[in-house]
Amino acid sequence: MVSKIALEEHFLCPGFDDYWKTTVADVDPAVLAKVVARLSDFDDLRLQSMDSAGIARAVLSLAGPGVQIERDSATAVRNARAANDFLAREVQRRPDRYSGFAHLPMQDAKAAADELERSMRDLGFCGAMINGHTNGQYLDDPALDPFWERAAALGAPIYLHPADPPALFPALAGHRGLRRATWEWTLETGTHALRLVFGGTFDRFPGAKLVLGHMGETLPYLLWRFDSRAKLYGVKLAKPPSDYIKQNIVVTTSGMCSTEPLNCAIAALGHRHVMFAADYPFESADEAAEFIDHTPLSDDVRADICFNNAKSFFGLKI
């Protein structure tokens, strides 16, 4: 079993239940109780799962959407800071096993940038996780340029995590089985990432770093078509869209225990841009580990995907 760093590992802190439960209202209460117990635990349950899967370190992030659905900006700023302080205390208890992603109040670009900087400088976090749009505002909005300017200056990776879209896609109406993790979140998150590419965010901030889970939310499969259609529709960018996806975006294996998409991501982006994630506790860490430990890869490539790439990309001191 190869040693691993896991990058999409969630927790829940006191006072954030109401934010989180907006995404799980239709989940069986018995199942929900077990998930909450695992989200709230930083000791036996989480560490046993990590040990069983060969996860040496987990980079923890608040289960979304968190303050991004808060309507009052001042409350969002205050609660985001409290969540980050809570996580920092847990990381300090086990600095050998945990690192942290900041939770940010994206309602206010400057406040979000300030909290990102504080979290990295004072709390020792290694980037941030943003849970999709914030009350309908996507990350390519020019109003958020001050945030991207600071993130790029800090060298801060931004993990773009799925969130419910502002409104139901009409094509999904009447098909509950296609909602959320089945397809809806991939469509929403992949589109969000493409807004950053096609909207010129990476032209304005070449040092910006974006992380996508689920083997890249289908983007690695469509690089040629993005470039072809950008030419057809006269999209004005400094480079072809695929260049930004290859240069500014890295992907993780969260929730995708399948060799075919892994091979595509490696072929499209290069194996240095692919990293391990388990998506605990929403996915099985053991299943994710079993997959990555045994899928056909050279030992060097497996070690890079599981450990070395994340250590270097996130600047982890381990």
Q: Which residue(s) pair with 251 in the sheet?
A: 212, 274
Please tell me what DSSP assigns to residue 306.
I
Range list of β-strands (E), 104-188: 128-131, 157-161
Identity of the amino acid at 295: T
Contact 111, 130 (CB under 8 A): no
Render 124-145 in DSSP notation, one character per residue: ----EEEES-BTTB-TT-GGGH
Four-residue CA torsion sign, 215, 182, 167, 40: negative
- What angle do helix axes 73-93 and 109-121 make, rounded to 10 degrees? 10
Q: Considering 141, 279, 293, 299, which one is annotated as catalytic? A: 279
Residues with Cβ < 8 Å from 140, sequence gap 6 or more?
A: 195, 196, 199, 200, 201
149 — phi, psi (to 5°)? Answer: -60, -45
Token couple for 110: 């400057």
d(CA 137, CA 133): 5
Name the burial class of residue 270, with classes exposed (0-12), middle (13-18) and buried (19+) by CB atoms within 10 angstroms of its CB.
exposed
Distance of CA 218 to CAs 2, 252, 266, 281, Å?
A: 26, 12, 13, 23
Active site residue 279: yes
- Residue 155 DSSP symbol: T
Q: Return the axis-axis angle of helices 285-294 and 44-53, rounded to nearest 10°.
A: 10
**CA-based nearest residue to 186, from 168, 164, 211:** 164
Give the helix, strand, coil percentages of the chain, each rounded to 5: 55, 15, 35
Show which residues are catalytic: 279
